Structure 1
Amino acid sequence: MRPLKVFATVVLFSLLSACSWFGGEKEVAPDVPEQQLYDEALSALEADNFALAIEKLQLLEARYPFGRFSEQAQLELIYAYFRSYEPESARAAADRFIRLHPSHDNVDYAYYLKGLTAFEQDRSFFEKYLPIDVSQRDPGAALESFESFSTLLNRYPESEYAPDAQKRMQYLKNRLAAHEIHVAAYYMKREAWVAAANRGRYVVENLQETPAVPDALAIMAEAYTELGMHDLAKNSLEVLQLNYPEYEIRPFKKASATLLQTATFGLLGGVEPAEPARPIPPSDRLRAQAQQRADAEEDKNERSLFSRMTFGVFDDEETEEAK
């Protein structure tokens, strides 16, 4: 029994000293001056080496938590996370800075970066280049971005980031309103009239001046009609016709199947429920305007060429015909 105890003791000491036998102690990096760490982090940011910048900024904050560059390093860290496509880390760093330094001179920058991080997270890579219907996607990131920009505008209306935040908020309002109408249209097809009417009313009351408002009014009018609330339905319809006289009203609810639909398995004989209107993307609108200007310039050049060829003889006749 005694040899067994001796053997167990030897094995135990061997395991405890295994680290020193095979790996040795890790070499501790020498202390780097605070100024040098900060300069190296800035150089990495300027070179778009965000992984190295994050490493330097984290080291700076860990070794000099109360140094003169500590607060600025926390701000730079938010930006580095944002540029390195780490949205969760960027938001966490922004929340931490806002919590620790609520009266800092540059706290508006932290709110702006937080909103910008969620804004870019909501816009996927494919959405930038493909016509994807964003109204069907989860609006969580868009809502978070809107709230951050809204806080920035309410608390710091004179901030240099306020104008850009306001423009992005308008895009986000259209995005959120389109999602609400998409959900309301789904409720209409499922005959959930109360839920659909509430979604439409939310758009009218909270997301005004968006392209989704006429759809919201049409859904309210139809849903209230189905619920027997004819006064509310009439009011919604009057507001819709007064403010959007060119809007084409179509039913959002799912129509009952006709005999022809049943015989053709739904391929013929029915009218599809109305789909929510889609706001025209700014890029498409600018492209259309540029095309119109190009066409007008081309027509102008053609007329001037004809005028030169005929020495202006037919200019008066063309003018009279145009009138």
Structure 2
Amino acid sequence: MNAHRKDRNRSAAALLKVALLTLSLGVAACSSSKDDLDDLALNDTPAEVLYNEGLALRAQGKLKQAGDKFEELDKLYPYSEFAKKSLVNMAYVNFSRGRYAEAVSAAQRFLTLYPGNEDAAYALYIVGQSYFRQMPDITRDQAVTEKAASAFQELLQRYPDSEYASDAEAKLRVAADQLAGKEMQVGRFYLEKRNYIAAINRFKVVVLRYQTTRHVEEALFRLTEAYYALGVVNEAQTAAAVLGHNFPDTQWYKDAYSLLSKGGYEPSENSGSWISKAFKGIKL
């Protein structure tokens, strides 16, 4: 009986220790959280001073410290004029540090809060650049490339006269070329598998969306191949004719002409074809 009572006493003592330890940890956590809030609340440094400190750190190349300063300002003085400027700087600093997701987040937040601001073009440029730096090779999924192209396209549409327009246009061409290249890669795969309809759909994207890229010549030849293989000779002739009209001296046209000749045909454009319509008014 005494042994049983001793066991119960030891158990009660152990539970009490656990309870006290849990309570102390909870108090410590609350105290730590409260200390963090107090530190933030006690920081009465003016917004302008924090901003200038951030700029000075940025100029010295201390980008992490600069980013921390701009974030602190954003927390202490949200929606203030200096917080607005800090958001743009946070985007720049994160981009410069290779923290592209954070750069996009800060830039897009700025665009949401201040769409008409004079720095909106710059924020959009940072979004495009952040995605552009992450573009994968042609064999992988091109979702990031699509985002880069979309950001640069929006920049050119909304701010065609901005100082970033020229570089955005150049990078848009690079992104478009890569997107077209991906379509061609998949289209060739389907062509090799003799899945001609699927192949045509891929080459069609290149002809309709990426006419100014270097891939459009091959796309027209592949359309000639795929349509001819399906027995849709009039579309094959049109693809070859459009290819010859726009790129008469290329090997792609010579190959298309040779392919049709073997069957007793020659390039002949049908003005009612989607291929012909796609090139109306287009200067290549």
Structure 1 unaligned spans of 5+: 124-133, 252-323
Structure 1 counterpart of 2:264:
none
The equivalent residue for 1:101 is: 114
Greater CA drift, 205-214 or 170-179: 170-179
Does 1:68 pair with 2:81?
yes
Q: Measure the CA separation in 2 of the matches of 1:142 and 1:14.
A: 53
Tell me which residue corresponds to 1:308. Answer: none
Where structure 2 has 5 or more consecutive residues not aligned to the other structure, the ranges are 257-284
Instruction: Tell me the residue number matched to 1:121.
Output: 134
Residue 157 of structure 1 and its aligned partner are, at CA, apart by 1.6
Counterpart secondary structure, 1:122 = coil
Query: What is the CA-CA distance between 1:14 and the residue it aligns to?
Result: 4.1
**2 CA distance for matches of 1:230 and 1:197?**
14
Letter of the structure 2 residue corresponding to residue 107 of structure 1: A
Corresponding residue number in structure 2 for 1:142: 145
* Distance (whole Å) between structure 1 residues aligned to residue 198 and residue 244 of structure 2: 23
Paired with 1:5 and 1:141, the residues of 2 have a C-alpha distance of 60
* Range that drifts further, 179-188 or 11-20: 11-20
The residue number in structure 2 matching 1:17 is 24
Residues 197 and 16 from structure 1, CA distance in 2 versus in 1: closer, same or farther, beyond 3 angstroms? same
Matched, 1:180 2:183: yes
Match of 2:59 in 1: 46
Residues of 1 paired with 2:28 and 2:128: CA distance? 52
In 1, Cα distance between equivalents of 2:97 and 2:189: 38
Number of the residue aligned with 2:262: none
- Which of these residues, 153, 161, 164, is aligned with residue 161 of structure 1? 164
| TM alignment of 1:1-323, pairs within 5 A | 3=9, 7=13, 8-9=15-16, 11-18=18-25, 26=35, 28-29=38-39, 30-31=42-43, 32-122=45-135, 134-249=137-252
- CA change 1:194–1:34 in 2 (3 A) is same
- Distance apart, 1:67 and its partner CA: 2.6
Moved over 6 A (4+): 19-22
1:179 aligned counterpart, secondary structure: helix
1:111 Cα deviation from its structure 2 partner: 0.8
Two-structure CA RMSD over aligned residues (Å) = 2.6
Stretch moving more, 101-110 or 227-236: 101-110
Deviation of the 1:69 alpha carbon: 0.3
Letter paired with 2:164: Y
Shift of 1:230: 0.8
Paired residue type of 1:78: A
Corresponding residue number in structure 2 for 1:311: none
Tell me the distance in 1 between the aligned counterparts of 2:205 and 2:80: 49
Q: Shift of the alpha carbon at 1:42?
A: 1.0
